[in-house]
Structure 1
Amino acid sequence: MLFPLPLEYLIASLIAVAYDLTIGEPPAQVHPVVGMGKLVSLWERIAPRQNPVLQFLFGLLAVIISIGGLFAFSWWGFDWLRTTLPVPTIILEAYLLKSCFSLKMLGDSGLKIRQILSAKTLDEARFEMRDLVSRNTTQLSEPLIIAATIESVAENTTDSFVSPLIFFALLGVPGALAYRLANTFDSMIGYRGKYEYVGKAAARFDDLLNYLPARLTALLLIINARWYKASPANAWRIALRDHSKTASPNAGWTMAAMAGALKVQLEKSGHYTLGDSEKPITLNNINQAVAALYLVGMEMVILFAVVSAIFTIIMLS
């Protein structure tokens, strides 16, 4: 082993973040998450179509085999690589970790919607929103598009960065890959469609994995509110009051914290309303949400670096 494990993880994470911020996403042909999507689609195609009990058991088996198999294989692979090819191992770790988070893409997606709306092209904004939210966007008004963009950025701050980094810190690349596969299962088949019961196990597992990261993200959004010109006190009040209004046990925390911080109301018609309309919702609120995303990302990297440095010093002393 060339470096102590905490230092190896730190170097890999810094390379991964630099890759994300400067280059963005790997090509689809070599993107591990694209491969995960194909795996989930394969399980979906062969799933039982009628019996809910069989669907649930099939979905549970799919999650255990896929996520457990990926974790075990990657753990064994990196354990072997680390002792034979230490430098290429770090590069591979960085690449695979980067594939598990999307800080730049999430921020760019939010700012793209803002740019389209500022050009007054509402239909184009509705079209682009399809990649950000799981709702019918064809009739959304401009305020609802802005609200949905803010919700997406707030919720995905957890899924797209905080959670993958936490699982990498705890279990290395195998942990980050396992988390991303669980999240991919949930996003593709969790709770929805004719295979609803196939996705229940995946959805519940994803809820469990994001339980603590979502609350940590909400806390960071609250603490950082003044830095993105928002209200920490109101963020805290609304997060406590409204976090349980969403179907997800996790998403409500970050979305409610953001609604409170901005003093606006975030609404998904027919599902939930978060926050109070103390201020009119504006395009600038998207800028604030993206700024909050990068602030949380920066603080998570700093926290990871400090903890890694402490453990490295302990191991070398």
Structure 2
Amino acid sequence: MNVAAAVFLGFLLDCVLGDPEQLWHPIMGIGSMISFWSKKLRTWFSDSERGQLRAGVVLWFVVVIPSWLIPAAILYAAGWIHPVLAFILETVFCWQIFAAKSLKQAALRVYCALQKKDLQEARKYVSWIVGRDTAHLDAAQVTKATVETVAENTSDGVIAPLVFLLIGGAPLGFAYKAVNTLDSMVGYKNEEFLYFGRFSAKMDDVWNFIPARLSGLLFVLCAKPARLDARGAWKCFRRDRLQHASPNSAQTESACAGALGVQLAGNAYYFGTLYEKPTLGDANRPIEPEDIVRTNRLMYWTSTVAVCVLCAVRWTIMWKLGW
């Protein structure tokens, strides 16, 4: 039961405090580990397709295993000193794993720039949270990119971490964040990472398969309390949730598009190359900056419902098992 309590309190801390910029964050450590081993492994293995594929597999294991092992060892040592210390540390770890408030704040930076009609500033802020090229985006495209990011990262930053935290505590939560960070750093289909990052990209798809679908369904269920179109969310979720090269990305984006009554996705440039992608949702109206605020509201409704329901389920299971 302590794990569920730590997860619940960690989520509350994230909602209130977010990620204080003055504090070192464990995800920065994971990012540094990825950068360190990427440089080493790419020189240790051959430049051939097979060599880079093997290097990418090794990279995944040398990053994910320590990301699980280190917090597990810290919590074990803390529990040996006193169970209360272990609970406090696990709560802090859960707080650091969730990313609801930081996601909201990142989106609101873009929203405020758009409200000021400062397109250059809006492009700068959206470039911090998306992988596509942003230098030539217009205001509508900046808005769309921000909405898509909030929708997709509701799964990556809240729901998926929640699922893994409740299964295996903070150690498994950090392992998931390592999987997700690997994908965001090396999981690209460009010349540099096509083979080296392939295993990381595929493993991210595997780990997010169930959480992404759960997140999409929760978007549909929470659309009405978030004062959005629940019927539209369900319609677009059923129709468009597989309309993406990734098996997971369109799960939340399609539901979000339907809830807002706008069209998302479509063609985009990455590293100077145009990628043709299908659209999600129906263009019932033009997208507008207020849709960023609406998506943030949907994200918080979805996250709160998920945390309350899944923590209650874990509590109930542990109580029934007498643990």
Does the TM-score normalized on the shorter chain lie above 0.5?
yes
In structure 2, the residue matched to 1:81 is: 78
Partner Cα distance (1:30, 1:56) in 2: 32
- 1:19 touches 1:98 (CA, 8 Å); kept in 2? yes
Q: Which residue of 2 aligns with 1:154?
A: 151
Contact 2:223 2:259 in 1 (8 A): yes
Q: TM-score, normalised by structure 1?
A: 0.92
Q: Which residue of 1 aligns with 2:228?
A: 230
1:125 aligns with 2:93: no
Return 231-240 or 76-85, whichever deviates more: 76-85
**Are 1:242 and 2:203 matched, yes or no?**
no
Whether contact under 8 Å (2:67, 2:175) holds in the other structure is yes
Q: Distance in 2 between matches of 1:69 and 1:281?
A: 43
Tell me which residue corresponds to 1:3. none
Partner AA of 2:117 in structure 1: K
Does 1:57 find its partner at 2:54? yes
Return the match for 1:44 from 38, 45, 60.
Answer: 38
Residue 22 (1) aligns with residue 16 (2): yes
Instruction: Output the CA distance in 2 between the equivalents of 1:139 and 1:126.
Output: 8
> Are the equivalent residues in 2 in contact too, given 1:49–1:195 (CA < 8 A)?
no
Q: Which residue of 1 aligns with 2:303?
A: 297
Letter in 2 for 1:146: T
Distance 2:78 2:99 in 1: 26
Q: Give the letter for the 2:17 counterpart.
A: I
Residue pairs, 1:161-240, within 5 angstroms: 161-193=158-190, 194-240=192-238
1:96 aligns with 2:102: no
Aligned residues: 311
1:285 aligns with one of 288, 291, 296: 291
CA distance in 2, matches of 1:237, 1:281: 19
Q: Which runs of 5+ in 2 are unaligned?
A: 268-275
| C-alpha separation in 2, matches of 1:247 and 1:28 | 37
Residue type of the alignment partner of 2:216: A
Mark the CA change 1:145 to 1:27 in structure 2 (over 3 Å): closer, same or farther: closer
Return the match for 1:138 from 135, 139, 142. Answer: 135
How high is the TM-score relative to the length of structure 2? Answer: 0.90
Tell me which residue corresponds to 2:270: none
The structure 1 residue matched to 2:63, chosen from 66, 71, 88, is 66
- 3-state DSSP of counterpart to 2:242: helix
**1:126, distance to aligned residue in structure 2 (A):** 0.6
Decide whether aligned partners of structure 1 residues 33 and 292 sit closer, same or farther in structure 2, where only a CA change above 3 A counts.
same
Is 2:8–2:308's contact at 8 Å kept on the other side of the alignment? no
Q: Give the stretch that moved more between structures: 298-307 or 211-220.
A: 298-307
| Cα displacement (A) at 1:256 | 0.8
| Range moving further from structure 2, 191-200 or 209-218 | 191-200
Q: What are the residue-to-residue correspondences of 1:252-267 with 2, within 5 Å?
A: 252-267=250-265
> Which letter maps to 1:284?
E
Counterpart CA distance in 2 for 1:274 and 1:14 is: 33
**Conserved 8 A contact 1:59-1:202:** yes
2:26 equivalent to 1:32: yes
**CA RMSD between the two structures:** 1.9
2:313 alignment partner, one of 295, 307, 311: 307
Distance 1:266 1:57, change over 3 A: same
